[in-house]
Structure 1
Amino acid sequence: MAVEVRAASEFGDVAAVLGPKRPDANVCWCLSYRVPSKLNNELRGPARGEYVAGLCRAERAPGVLAYEGDVPVGWAAVAPRSETSFARSRKIPHVDDLPVWSLWCVRVRPGHRGYGVTHALIAGAVEFARAHGAPVVEAYPIDSGGDRIDQTMAYAGIRRNFERAGFVHAADTTSVLAGHPRVLMRLDLR
């Protein structure tokens, strides 16, 4: 499968990967770490998609999309940590004071898994962050120890995929997802 990764500036394509089957459904839209919890709780149903549409129209896209031809097959959220709840997290430590970028969600559409889309998304998100001046990219994947993870909860990524992309373990966290610890992984771009 030939995969191309581009900035997620086309809302329709983002909706194809992240959006709900029913327009009134309350799905994440990858907002839970991006917006303050009060706003996250206030945005309901179609308002969530409308908020993401605004992000797609912004000067800097809210992440990247993977395409097979013209079909969007995956998504990765990446932004300056200072613009996310990771900036205030008590469970995920700050290693230093660098203006790092966070890569916190990697999603591949069913039917496209197992073809390297995740690897392309991680690499594309890193390049997107680099192009926007990021000195370091952090991720907070699950350290599953090789155990299978439910696909719904695997959005944070799996440690070994980030290791393959050159990220190194920088710190343990007290965050747990799907019954497994999350670790702080970093890739220095300097």
Structure 2
Amino acid sequence: MSEIEIVPASVARFDDVEHALTGGGDGGSCWCQWWMLRARDFEATSNDEKRELLRRDLEAEPASALVAYIDGAPGGWVKVSSRPEQPRLARTRNLQQSPEPFDDPSVWAITCFVVRNEHRRQGVSERLLDAAIDHARAHGARVIEGYPVDTEVARTSSNALFHGAMSTFAAAGFTEVARPTPSRPIVSLTLT
């Protein structure tokens, strides 16, 4: 059994963040900017620019993401912050079915998971989700939303699970509040 420690991502840990994001999936090309930039701006921004935008994001308090260390090595990442800090959420048609107002800073969103290939199928996503819930709670979240993939409806690759799996969110106590598409529910956890 691996030892997993999860801490807030920060500029001081940027080398570790970079290592966690570049070992599987699209982390090294997105740099967790998908929900931060409009579609046309995302496409027009180079990978190096996205990387620097992430560095700037990580200067803010509270941390907008967490990094997992597996046996001391950075191996996982989760994006968790208030929805207003992730502006593309409010402009995404499939998410308009959310019952929560998009400008409410007490509503947080968990939008991205990355687990390096060598650490998959070890429960890292579950641990990251639990830590994200604790982090949001500690910083005043009233509600946390997620936008996972329901793998019982649509088969998907491990790399395509960067939104998380419905089963993982359900096991953590999230309930479905809307289903904009057959395989993409909106799930919610009320903290207060």
**Equivalent residue number for residue 177 of structure 1:** none
Change (3 A) 1:20 1:54: farther
Q: Percent identity?
A: 32
| Deviation at residue 70 of structure 1 after TM alignment | 2.6
In the alignment, what sits opposite 1:95? 99
Q: 1:59 aligns with which of 61, 78, 86?
A: 61
CA shift at 1:171, angstroms? Answer: 0.9
After superposing on structure 2, the runs of 4+ consecutive aligned residues of structure 1 that deviate more than 3 Å are: none
Distance 1:148 1:89, change over 3 A: closer
Give the one of 133, 146, 149 matched to 1:139.
146
Distance, in Å, in 1 between the alignment partners of 2:177 and 2:47 is: 37
Deviations 1:22-75 (A, max 9, x none): xxxx71111111223343233203111111111122222221111123311101
2:131 matched to 1:124?
yes
Q: Is the 8 A contact 2:75 2:119 kept in 1?
A: yes
Counterparts of 2:99 and 2:49, CA distance in 1: 35
**More moved, 162-171 vs 31-40:** 31-40
Tell me how far apart the structure 2 counterparts of residues 37 and 147 of structure 1 sit (CA, whole Å): 25
In 1, Cα distance between the equivalents of 2:172 and 2:23?
Answer: 30
Structure with greater helix share of residues: 2
Letter in 2 for 1:94: S
Using the size of structure 1 for normalisation, the TM-score is 0.87
| Residues 143-182 of structure 1: pairs in structure 2 closer than 5 A | 143-145=150-152, 148-174=155-181, 181-182=183-184
Which segments of 5 or more consecutive residues in structure 2 lack a partner in the other structure?
A: none
